[in-house]
Amino acid sequence: MSDLPAAPAADPSPLTGSGFASPTEVPSHLDAAALARALEAGRPTGTWSLLDVDGVRCPRVQAGAGPELLCVHGLGHDAWDWAQLFVRCTMVARLTAYDLPGFGLSTKPARRWDLGLLVRSLLAAARALPTPPVVVASSLGGHVALLAALHEPALFSHLLLGAPGGLVEVPAPMQAMLRAYYSVDAIAQRSEAEIVGNSRRIFASPGLLVDDALAARKLAVRRSSEARAFALPFAGVVDDVFHHVVLERLSSLRVPCTFVVGERDVVVPPDAVAAAARQHHARFVALPGVGHCPHLEVPDRFAELVRDVLVQGGRHVSG
C-alpha cells in the first residue's frame, strides 16, 4: 500500500545511549526472573545497535558474513526468535534481526501503532544494508515484508515468508472478535495462564524450549509496570491488518518469493498460503507436523530453505 509508509524515512544509522537494553542488561520495566528464564533458551549473538524509526528505538543485532539476510518477527515476538537461524546461517550470510517498533525491547511511547510504522521500520532496516537483502519473515512480519516489497521492490532480493499474515479477507464477525481479543484492556487484563496457553497453541509440537522462552518473555511483559503500553501495538496493528489484504496484489509484486507454512498451522490457513504462492508463481513448501512457527519448530529444515535461496542468489527457486 503506497499510503502505508507516509512518514519520512528515519535515519537508519546505529544509535547508542539511554533507552537501549543491551543483551546483558535487564530493562527496569521487565521482570528480571521471567526474563532470565527466556535468556536460558538462547538469543541471537552478535553486534547490537539501535535502529531509529520515527523516534522509536529498536534493538538490532547483526552477525556473520556473506549475502545480506534480514529477519522480521511476528506479532508479539521479537528478534530473539531468530537465535536458531543465526546459529545455522552466520557461516553463509550476514544476518540482521531487530525488534519491530512496539515489540520486544523497543521503546514504547504512548501512541497509535499501525502497519505503516512497521513497514517503515523494514524499509529503514533494508536501506541500512549495503546490498538488497533476502528477507526472512514470520507471520505478521511476512505481511510487513510483502507491503514493504510492494512499496519499494528494489530494496529486496527475495522474500522467504513463513505463514505470512494479511493474505485473505477476514469476515466481519471474526474481525469484531479479534478486535475485542486484542483490545488494550483485554491484553492488560489477560491472565498469565492464558498468556502461556496462547503462546503454546501456535506450536504443533509440545514441550519445545522455545515454547517456554516465548511464554517467559510475554510473562515478563505481563508483570511489567508498563503492561498497558505493551498492549498498544497489538491493538493498533491487528485492526490495521484487516484493511491491507495483499493476496490480489501479489501478481504485481516484482520480488521473488518462497512461501512456507506448517500443515498444522492454526493461525494462518495453509490453503491461503498455497493460494498466495500460486498468485505470485512462487515456490510453496508445506511442512508436515509443524505449526505456525516453522523457524522455531524445525530450525534445521527452515535453515535449509534459507540456504536454498542464498545459493540461488535470491532468484526464484523452483519447487
pLDDT of residue 276: 94
SS3 content of the chain, % helix, strand, coil (to 5): 45, 15, 40
| Cβ atoms of 203 and 211 closer than 8 Å | yes
Q: Which domains does the chain show, CATH number per domain?
A: 32-311 (3.40.50.1820)
Hey, how many other C-beta atoms are within 10 angstroms of the C-beta on 171? 9
Q: Does the predicted TM-score (pTM) go above 0.75?
A: yes
Cell numbers at 147, concatenated: 507491503
Q: Which grid coordinates belong to 124?
A: 529503514
pLDDT of residue 36: 61
What whole-number distance in Å separates Cα of residue 301 and Cα of residue 285?
A: 11
Establish how many alpha carbons lie within 13 A of residue 123's alpha carbon, considering only the half-sphere containing its beta carbon.
Answer: 26
The pLDDT value given to residue 14: 32
- For residue 236, give the 3-state DSSP assignment: helix
CA–centroid distance for 254 within its chain: 21
Mean pLDDT of each 10-residue bin along the chain, 319 residues long: 46 32 48 59 83 92 95 93 91 95 83 89 98 97 97 97 93 90 85 85 81 79 72 87 89 95 94 94 96 93 95 60
Residue 248, pLDDT score: 86
Closest C-alpha to 256, from 137, 165, 123, 134: 134
Cβ neighbors of 314 (< 8 A, separation 6 or more) are: 67, 132, 134, 157, 158, 256
For residues 293 and 286, give the distance between their C-alpha atoms in angstroms, rounded to a whole number.
Answer: 12
